Amino acid sequence: MSKAHLGFQVRQNNPWRLWLGVGLVILLLLIMFLIGRAYQSYELGQLNLEQEAMVDRIAELEQRNTSLVKQNAKLKGISKIEHDAYEKANRSQVDLQKELLDMKEQLVFYQGIVSPEQLALGVNIQSFELTKKNNLGLYNYKLVLSKRGKSNKFVKGIFNLLIKGQQGEQQKDLALKQVKQDYKENDIKFSFRYFQVFEGDMLLPEQFEPYDIQVKIKPTTKKIKPFSETISWTQAVSGGND
């Protein structure tokens, strides 16, 4: 006996499930966007608070510095009995002026991060410093990169340090990977929203006399062009290019 033909089967479609799914996805994206905006506002708020604290501290230091200047002027005209007091006040003034200078430099740095509205998107070499660790060619380097321009996006890319010098009678260039202790590929990659600090030790070969160091920046973020900046070795060792 042949089986009876069952005919066509009609399946009921429920379009409300599709729209519900789309609505949930849109809601999830909106929540993620709002969380990102809130976190960004929090970060900028913290930077603004630090900047305001620096302004107050600078005002306090300037007031103390003015007081010390007047005190030193008085002590200069007093007999040798007061010489120790004068020396102590003079040392305090020198230390205070150094702290004041450091605070002002940091304030400029934070202002560049918090108020970059008038600048095109880019990367700045905020500072580069070298510290001599021994007489065998071992140095510590510290590179600070910061973002320029009004944008919420991260800037990404790589950098390299090219040390230019003389070895014997020949000019020689050394890349960071040739001299850095425990070099890794991630040591030259950057990814930041505001700024990023890179530090490490590098050992120069014997009889190598450096005279310049070239910082090469190669961004992978769109619309940011690569560039390089050359800093004299002496300048970097004496305090960098702040």
pLDDT digit string (tens) for 68-110?
666 665 655 555 555 566 566 656 666 666 666 566 556 656 6
Residue 241 has pLDDT above 60, yes or no: no
Least confident of 41-50, 121-130, 154-163, 229-238: 41-50
| Single residue among 81, 114, 147 that ends a domain in this structure | 114
Q: How wide is the angle at C-alpha 226 spanned by C-alphas 223 and 229, nearest 5°?
A: 140
When comparing pLDDT for 189 and 150, which is higher?
Answer: 189
pLDDT band at 1 (very low <50, low <70, confident <90, very high): very low
pLDDT mean over 35-57? 70
The answer on pLDDT for 32 being more than 70 is yes
Residues 214 and 166 in one domain: yes
Of the listed ranges 1-5, 15-19, 144-148, 230-234, the one predicted with least confidence = 1-5
20-34, 53-67, 166-180 — which is least confidently predicted? 53-67
Domain boundary among 69, 94, 114: 114
Domain boundary residue, one of 70, 90, 114: 114
Range(s) of the domain holding residue 226? 122-237
Domain shared by 81 and 133, yes or no: no
194 inside domain:
yes
Which pLDDT belongs to residue 92? Answer: 66
Count structural domains, the chain.
2
Residue 28 within any structural domain of the chain: no
CA–CA gap between residue 121 and residue 224 (Å, rounded)? 7
Q: What is the pLDDT of residue 68?
A: 66
Does 97 fall in a domain? yes
Judge if 140 and 170 occupy the same domain: yes
Residues 6 or more apart whose CB falls under 8 angstroms from that of 162 comprise 173, 174, 175, 176, 213, 214, 216
Cα-Cα-Cα-Cα torsion 180, 185, 191, 197, nearest 10 degrees, comes to -10
- Taking alpha carbons only, the member of 145, 156, 136, 146 closest to residue 201 is 136
Q: pTM of the prediction?
A: 0.53
Task: Give the separation between CA 166 and CA 17, rounded to whole angstroms.
Answer: 73
Average pLDDT of the residues in 47-54: 69
